Amino acid sequence: MKTQVNGIEITPKMAEVFGEWYNQNSIENAQPCIYVRWLSKIQDYLTRNLIDMDDDDDHIPVVKDCLSMTVQIKDDFERLIPEKDE
């Protein structure tokens, strides 16, 4: 049986992961919330390092790429966290 939400197929593996993520007493303990907190810490750390870093042309682009990827992942995970009224 195929399950679709807004035209996107939810596979059994995806449903299993979502079940593990959201089968918690509190949404703050769900994996997306935990990942957002972790990624926020990483983002803060990378940002501080970028600001404090000497103008080393080899490292700055790598740190900027890492920061950009971290923000994108964090933003996507935030969208997986249900609103309180859902």
* 42-83 pLDDT tens trace: 888 878 877 776 666 777 787 788 888 888 898 888 887 777
Q: What would the two tokens of residue 44 be?
A: 């803060």
Q: What would the two tokens of residue 58 be?
A: 């080899």
Which pLDDT score is estimated for 55?
61
For 1-86, where are the E strands, in sequence order? Answer: 3-5, 8-10
Cα angle, residue 36 at apex, residues 35 and 41 outer, rounded to 5°: 95
> What DSSP state is assigned to residue 82?
P
Which pLDDT score is estimated for 1?
66
Residue 22 has, within 13 A of its CA and on its CB side, a CA count of 12
For residues 15-29, give the mean pLDDT: 85
Which pLDDT score is estimated for 54?
67
